[in-house]
Amino acid sequence: MTNNLNAKIKLLIKSEKALLSIELRKKARKTLWIVLGVVALFSALILLNITLYLYFETMFNSLKSVGLLTTINILLAGIFFIIASKQEGDEEIKSIEEIRDFAYQQLSVDINEAKESVKELTHSAQHVKERLETFTNGDAFNISKLLPVITAIIEIVKKSR
């Protein structure tokens, strides 16, 4: 049972490590895309704004140039944030979570069996202790109740001799 319990605990630990590893990779990829989105946003705001503003100013007035540049910047940043939100690995996580939950369930069953075994052992030990106490008290076969009768019989036998 000990080897089986150790195997279940090892399985539980491995599944938790795998979940953590996947979660870290997922967060790292998501963070990378967010950082790229932010860098692109700042680059767009700085370089593209300067270039396009100068170009649009020759075609439109200043207010229309600024509005058009703002729209372009928001759309570009939105595209990067949508890409970052699409990073998923849910199927892999679900399968590992199922393994982890199975290991928890099996471990719980083993722990409950061990608890029951300890209860049975404790009950048996108490029963043995009670039996030993009856012998040490002289009450093993209810001799204390029969003692007056036995002493009376012994006295009768002594008197008859």
Asked if 114 contacts 64 with a C-beta cutoff of 8 angstroms, the reply is no
pLDDT tens digits for range 7-27: 777 887 888 888 888 888 988
8-state DSSP, 138 = T
On the CB side of 125, CA atoms within 13 Å amount to 6
Q: What is the mean pLDDT of residues 24-35?
A: 90
| Biggest alpha carbon–alpha carbon distance for the chain | 147
pLDDT at 142 over 70: no
Which residue range(s) make up the domain with 45?
Answer: 2-160
Residue-level pLDDT at 103: 78
Count up the domains in the chain and report the number: 1
Q: What is the mean pLDDT of residues 55-76?
A: 85
Q: What is the mean pLDDT of residues 64-84?
A: 85
On the CB side of 83, CA atoms within 13 Å amount to 16
**Alpha carbons 105 and 103: distance in angstroms, whole number:** 5
**Alpha carbons 38 and 41: distance in angstroms, whole number:** 5
pLDDT tens digits for range 106-117: 888 878 887 888
Of 41-50, 89-98, 134-143, 149-158, the range with the lowest mean pLDDT is: 134-143
Q: What's the whole-model pTM score?
A: 0.37
Residue-level pLDDT at 32: 92
